[in-house]
């Protein structure tokens, strides 16, 4: 839901007027499988965020 609200904001404001960030690393609810900061998983997560938000880049990855 938050991504959809962000997408609406991104479409209405010039891209260089704000910073856009995304998070990586937490994927599962099971505490033993929750975290994955591998390069492959982080890249896939960022790619997914870019597609979902409809932008070419993010300014911050957390």
Give the CA count within 13 Å in the CB-facing half-sphere of 59. Answer: 6
d(C-alpha 38, C-alpha 35), whole Å: 9
pTM score, whole prediction: 0.72
d(C-alpha 2, C-alpha 15), whole Å: 18
pLDDT tens for residues 23-51?
A: 998 878 888 878 989 999 999 999 999 99
Name the more confident of 42 and 18: 42
């Amino acid at each position: 839901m938050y991504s959809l609200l962000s997408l609406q904001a991104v479409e209405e404001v010039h891209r260089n007027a704000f910073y856009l960030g995304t998070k990586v690393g937490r994927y599962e609810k099971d505490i033993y499988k929750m975290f994955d900061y591998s390069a492959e998983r982080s890249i896939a997560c960022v790619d997914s965020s870019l597609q979902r938000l409809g932008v070419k880049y993010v300014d911050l990855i957390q």
